[in-house]
Structure 1
Amino acid sequence: MGKDGGKGSTTLEVTRTFKLNVPTSSAGENRLKGLEALTSKYGSRVVQPKEDLGCTIHFPELRFVFTGREDGSIAVWNLRSERSMSEAKFLHKHKGAVTCLLALEKGAGATLSPLLLSGSADSTIKLWDPSKVTQKGCEGACVQTLGGHGGTVTEMTRCGDYLLSASTDRTVRLWRTVHSRVATLYPWFELQKTLATCDGWVHSLCYDITHKVGDMGAIYAADSTGAVARFKPRPVEGATRGDRTHLEFDCVQNNGRVATSSPPPLVFRRLHDRGISHVRFLAELSIVLTVAYDNRARLYDSRTGQCLFVIENPHECCFTDVEWDEEHQQIYFIDKYGFFFVYDVQAEGMVFEKKLTNTPLVSIIYDKMLDSVAVSAKDRVEFWRISREVDYNALPGGHCGPVINVQVAMSGGEGSYIFSASLDNTIRVWDPYDMSCLRVLQEDRSEISCMVYSEGKSTLVTGHDNGCIRLWNLDTQSTINLTEHSNTVSCLVTAPLKRNEEFVLTGGFDGKVGIWDVRKKHSVRPHLVTMFEAHPNSEILCLLHDSIKATIITAGNDAVIKVWSATTYELVGEHRGHLEAVICLTLDANFLFSGSEDCSIRVWDSLAKGGTHVKGRTHIKTLQGHQRPVTGIAILEETGHLVSCSLDGSLRIWNYTMGEVLKTFRHKEELRCLAFRPDTNAMLVGTMQDNILLFPLPEDMHQLTRRTSSANSSVPAELKGYEDILEKLEEQEAAELAAAAAEEEEGYSSPDAH
């Protein structure tokens, strides 16, 4: 996520469409009974072979899903109906774990129907006819067994009429379809030769080709020593250029390392210090992608061997599989912690991250027809649809607990940051340019309950459930702890109570408001200036400071909004009307807005300095629309629109003078807090499901003024009469500012703490 589609930006979302659970196979049940019999006979426990899933492949045209298992069977699902999806069939021929699967499309290599190839730890490759899989069983589905390797078959790829296979016996072997066997119903593969012998186990093998006329493509093999070999197929002498039925793959040995004698020569050999688990050739981009056991993936220029980019797993674990989406120029990764990642080649960075499961993911396949991915864990296969036209961006790599506060500090230059606080007890500092996480501040002593950034003091302040506030040094992560509240500090705001001096206001579950001087001087440490009780026997949930009217506004679970003098700390007014706790507050000139657990937003006439309220006349309007508690509200200063978020998953933009919702964004997660980014005209929203979302605001919305609406520009009856009041108050404010400045020259009033 970033600036208007810049680095790290995305408009992706993935949604699970269905899940395939893996039952115990009949062979597995029989094997278990046999093991139990042996155990009872000999008195020692016999280990049962695992039935965990491994590789997965999808046949879209047949609507079949095949998954290899560690017990040597292949689970088969028919996706044509809910019943067939719930009843997996099993192919039983392999005597070892099924480690790789390859689909042979119809028409490829004399294939009259789609076929399946499977490689196994039993050193064999088997050819299957999926059409033989019926409701009654899978008899006759295996049509050929290929033997030749001396170790586990790790991966297979296809090049024209040729099949290439890799193995832990350190070889790459070449098989070819024999056309002379005209009586066979299926293509018949025969071993041609051992194409190469590598230093280590050959873990991965791939082939890709460009759309250029005459291009023969290239094959890449990667092994456990970190080496990568390239093989360029070429037509045999006398064959037509582009003919892929008669190819040569000439190789020579070079001190135990593979090198090709076909032009161009091998460009690079050892790419990693550790073994490579996956290699992919992106032919159209001339890029080789490698995934290694050092928790990194790398992109290389296939022509020069130069490393272009290094992709690190933010969770410091290995990527377990990778897929390439050519149409969208994106690479999909999964890892053992259950995360799914999207790397955008054009944006040169990770643009999406989501935890799909709590168990390791072992395989991923991309279906370009459905624009979806299928990921397999050890006991299930899940299909996730990729949505690319969503109206929000998801920030990759964030919190693992509800996000309770997001704050934007755009002071310009190197002092610009975005902060987020979470119930995972971390504060993350983000770079506004590309939304990369610059640092993580970890709190180990108490739960973080609120946060504010004092731009005037360049200090981050957090409130905690033990009643203390902490001032953070962003460079050293050291803190200054101040404790005065007797219960959770629930809210924090900054307030310029004195000219050129910014103070911090705190509200707590003890019903008290604290005013803190957070300046760090040689002789004076940060300290409490004063504290007064604002809501006896009630919890304060939100507060704000009105610098123009010199008032402090508090609200909480007693549903009453109270207005206090910022100089004498006396109660000067109240706003009553909410039916449940008031959670959030904001101001727009002389209008006060409050969001509540009663799902409403109320508009109030804020108290003018020195003025008094007439009972029952401070409430102007109620904005209805949210279905669950309103958790955050903010004013867009340039246009005057009100923005609100709620646990109902909606973000709404209001023309509050008309009482209209101009735009509604919806998300499946519960929205907890919000902050506006004026530089990108977007809202940052934290969710209860651990995410930070960015909602770009419409440009036409950005141009609307606060007193106009695209539908109706008339002033509603509730606000008639207030236009004149606003004009008079604006005239008074200029005089009040001058008077306030004169008062501040005389000194700052700090009565004793109550």
Structure 2
Amino acid sequence: MDADGRNGNKRFHQRLAPPDRANNKVCYHWRAGRCNRHPCPFLHSELPPHQQQQSAAPDGGAVAKRNNVWRNPGTAGAASGPPSKWGKGRGGGVVGRPPGRASDRICHYFLAGNCTYGENCRFLHSWFISDSFSLLTPLQGHQKAVSGIALPSGSDKLYSGSMDESVRAWDCQTGQCVGVINMGGEIGCMISEGPWLFIGVRNSVKAWNTQTATELSLDGPSGQVYSLVVGNELLFAGTQALSLSFFNGRILAWKFSAVGNCFEPAAFFDGHRLSVVSLAVGAMRLYSSSMDNMIRVWDLVTFQCIQTLTDHTSVVMSVLCWDQFLLSCSLDKTIKVWVTTESGNLEVTYTHTEEHGVLALCGMHDAQAKPILLCSCNDNSVHFYDLPSFSERGKIFSKEEVRAIQIGPGGLFFTGDATGELKVWQWLTNEVPNS
């Protein structure tokens, strides 16, 4: 039958086997949505739960078992104790999607705008799979990758920075671009803190107060600024490594001076061998990740490195502080959850594995205040996971990889991809019932 859903038209076959059929095997082709045999010698329905344990589907339809058994974060790294709840979700599938439907695969011809099957295509003609959020509108204008998204306090504008050397201002009511600022160089990152907008460019950080129109240029960086974060009344910037010297991925810090209405240099951190690509602040600690495959932990009182984390085997693309945990992702296709032990050091308490390298992490809450992790991968998708179970809540698809994710007010969130397109999303207060 043809079912018209929120995500576009999807065709699937749902024929039942004759009642006298004794075969307890589920049709593999039915699960994939393409069985054309009638009658079919196999079942066109799922087995009852008590039989699923005895008959694993050939496509891996049975719930996957996790081999990870690890310590409860509440035991502060103790070697024994009850297992924690991290990673105890379903083995696969997206909430709200029948296991046999082929619509969890995006139609690449649809993405390119030239699918000839139209409504009869058995692959998904949509930019997302989920019953929990929806796409409000795309914002188009940037010519290259979106590298930063920000919403300064007290402003009715959304700002996006891009590698096309421009910052665009978008009216939050109409969605129209109301201003374009040429920065004279590629924008490596952009954040906001209060009314301030901070923009990382080559050899500088630009600061703009959106309420007073004050514009400042913070000198000090050498090379492209890839990451920015504010914490402990300091602005931190992670910079590009320009030479092959042993310690060349530098982090710079500035403190705002109300007297001079300016940002004064406060400290610098040397330790990474390659460019610093992500920064996070939490519990008087600065966490930095780098192309040298390492995470460094810095004490914000002494400005000294107190631990180096070397568990990742490729570039650590993003770090995220969540409650008492640190989350990190890498091109080694893993997301690691770190917890502080009794000794005060961070240790991996859970590792989640993706099929592709992971580019960015963002944490937020859905409309029911449940914690959700957004995980951008280099297969041009963004995965949504319930925490701490890592049960999948949905996916976003894009023409190219999503490099920027930002949370907004009222259940809004934003994604920016490598084509330059910005999309506005919203969590649904009442989730759409499963079809």
Kindly state the Cα deviation for residue 567 of structure 1 after the two structures are TM-superposed.
1.1
Q: 2:196 aligns with which of 459, 462, 465?
A: 459
1:684 alignment partner AA? F
Counterpart of 1:689 in structure 2 is 419
Kindly state the Cα deviation for residue 418 of structure 1 after the two structures are TM-superposed.
2.0
2:357 alignment partner AA? R
Unmatched tracts of structure 1, length 5 or more: 1-10, 14-353, 358-369, 372-385, 703-754
1:531 to 2:241 alignment: no
Provide the secondary structure at the position in 1 that maps to 2:302. Answer: coil
Change (3 A) 1:624 1:441: same
Counterpart of 1:428 in structure 2 is 168
Tell whether the 8 Å contact from 1:632 to 1:672 is kept in structure 2 after alignment: no
Tell whether the 8 Å contact from 1:584 to 1:633 is kept in structure 2 after alignment: no
Question: 1: CA distance between counterparts of 2:172 and 2:417?
Answer: 19
Question: 1: CA distance between counterparts of 2:256 and 2:405?
Answer: 25
Tell whether the 8 Å contact from 1:515 to 1:528 is kept in structure 2 after alignment: yes
Question: 2: CA distance between counterparts of 1:701 and 1:632?
Answer: 24
The correspondence of residues 471-482 of structure 1 with structure 2, limited to 5 A, is 471-474=207-210, 479-482=215-218
1:551 to 2:290 alignment: no
Change (3 A) 1:481 1:678: closer
Change (3 A) 1:636 1:575: farther
Counterpart of 1:449 in structure 2 is 188
Tell whether the 8 Å contact from 1:493 to 1:544 is kept in structure 2 after alignment: yes
Kindly state the Cα deviation for residue 447 of structure 1 after the two structures are TM-superposed.
2.2
Counterpart of 1:504 in structure 2 is 235
Kindly state the Cα deviation for residue 473 of structure 1 after the two structures are TM-superposed.
4.6
Tell whether the 8 Å contact from 1:394 to 1:691 is kept in structure 2 after alignment: no
- Offset from partner CA, 1:279-303 (integer Å, 9 cap, x none): xxxxxxxxxxxxxxxxxxxxxxxxx
1:618 alignment partner AA? E
Kindly state the Cα deviation for residue 694 of structure 1 after the two structures are TM-superposed.
2.6
Counterpart of 2:204 in structure 1 is 468
Counterpart of 1:595 in structure 2 is 329
Change (3 A) 1:670 1:570: same
Tell whether the 8 Å contact from 1:404 to 1:673 is kept in structure 2 after alignment: yes
Provide the secondary structure at the position in 1 that maps to 2:144. Answer: coil
- Offset from partner CA, 1:127-177 (integer Å, 9 cap, x none): xxxxxxxxxxxxxxxxxxxxxxxxxxxxxxxxxxxxxxxxxxxxxxxxxxx
Kindly state the Cα deviation for residue 539 of structure 1 after the two structures are TM-superposed.
1.5
1:442 alignment partner AA? N
Kindly state the Cα deviation for residue 589 of structure 1 after the two structures are TM-superposed.
0.7
Provide the secondary structure at the position in 2 that maps to 1:395. Answer: strand
Q: 1:640 aligns with which of 361, 371, 380?
A: 371
Tell whether the 8 Å contact from 2:139 to 2:423 is kept in structure 1 after alignment: no
Counterpart of 1:565 in structure 2 is 299
Q: 1:586 aligns with which of 320, 329, 344?
A: 320
Instruction: Spell out structure 1 runs of 4+ moving beyond 6 A.
Output: 354-357, 386-390, 475-478
Kindly state the Cα deviation for residue 398 of structure 1 after the two structures are TM-superposed.
2.3
Counterpart of 1:160 in structure 2 is none
Kindly state the Cα deviation for residue 519 of structure 1 after the two structures are TM-superposed.
4.1
Question: 2: CA distance between counterparts of 1:389 and 1:685?
Answer: 12
- Offset from partner CA, 1:525-573 (integer Å, 9 cap, x none): 32211112131x2211111111xx2111111011111111111112222
- Offset from partner CA, 1:409-445 (integer Å, 9 cap, x none): 4x4xx5343221101111112233332223222112x
2:175 alignment partner AA? M
Tell whether the 8 Å contact from 1:12 to 1:394 is kept in structure 2 after alignment: no
1:491 to 2:223 alignment: no
1:672 to 2:409 alignment: no
Q: 2:143 aligns with which of 395, 400, 403?
A: 400
- Offset from partner CA, 1:593-647 (integer Å, 9 cap, x none): 1111112211111478xx522xxx7101111234233233324383222111222
1:661 alignment partner AA? E
Question: 2: CA distance between counterparts of 1:572 and 1:664?
Answer: 37
Unmatched tracts of structure 2, length 5 or more: 1-5, 9-110, 120-124, 242-248
Q: 2:255 aligns with which of 517, 520, 539?
A: 517
Pick which of 653-662 and 632-641 moved more. Answer: 632-641
Tell whether the 8 Å contact from 1:417 to 1:432 is kept in structure 2 after alignment: yes
Question: 2: CA distance between counterparts of 1:564 and 1:542?
Answer: 14
Counterpart of 2:41 in structure 1 is none
Question: 2: CA distance between counterparts of 1:355 and 1:441?
Answer: 30
TM-score with structure 2 length normalisation? Answer: 0.63
Change (3 A) 1:645 1:389: closer
Change (3 A) 1:543 1:607: farther
Question: 2: CA distance between counterparts of 1:624 and 1:395?
Answer: 30
Change (3 A) 1:493 1:389: closer
Provide the secondary structure at the position in 1 that maps to 2:142. Answer: coil
- Offset from partner CA, 1:360-386 (integer Å, 9 cap, x none): xxxxxxxxxx79xxxxxxxxxxxxxx9
1:438 alignment partner AA? V
Provide the secondary structure at the position in 2 that maps to 1:689. Answer: coil
- Offset from partner CA, 1:56-96 (integer Å, 9 cap, x none): xxxxxxxxxxxxxxxxxxxxxxxxxxxxxxxxxxxxxxxxx
The correspondence of residues 124-203 of structure 1 with structure 2, limited to 5 A, is none
Identity of aligned residues (%): 19
Q: 2:359 aligns with which of 600, 618, 630?
A: 630
Change (3 A) 1:489 1:701: farther
Q: CA RMSD in A?
A: 3.5
Change (3 A) 1:475 1:633: closer
Change (3 A) 1:486 1:665: closer
Tell whether the 8 Å contact from 2:403 to 2:416 is kept in structure 1 after alignment: yes
The correspondence of residues 304-453 of structure 1 with structure 2, limited to 5 A, is 391-409=134-152, 411=153, 414-444=154-184, 446-453=185-192
Tell whether the 8 Å contact from 1:595 to 1:633 is kept in structure 2 after alignment: no
Question: 2: CA distance between counterparts of 1:686 and 1:651?
Answer: 11
Kindly state the Cα deviation for residue 655 of structure 1 after the two structures are TM-superposed.
2.4
Change (3 A) 1:624 1:355: closer
Change (3 A) 1:425 1:389: closer
Provide the secondary structure at the position in 2 that maps to 1:664. Answer: strand
Tell whether the 8 Å contact from 1:12 to 1:393 is kept in structure 2 after alignment: no
2:224 alignment partner AA? T
Counterpart of 2:344 in structure 1 is 612
Provide the secondary structure at the position in 2 that maps to 1:399. Answer: coil
Tell whether the 8 Å contact from 1:585 to 1:633 is kept in structure 2 after alignment: no
1:540 to 2:276 alignment: yes
Question: 2: CA distance between counterparts of 1:486 and 1:450?
Answer: 15
1:542 alignment partner AA? S
1:650 to 2:370 alignment: no
Tell whether the 8 Å contact from 2:412 to 2:426 is kept in structure 1 after alignment: yes
Structure number, greater radius of gyration: 1
* Aligned residue-pair number: 308
Question: 2: CA distance between counterparts of 1:564 and 1:389?
Answer: 38
Provide the secondary structure at the position in 2 that maps to 1:486. Answer: strand
Change (3 A) 1:626 1:426: farther
Higher relative contact order at CA 8 Å, sep ≥6: structure 1 or structure 2? 2
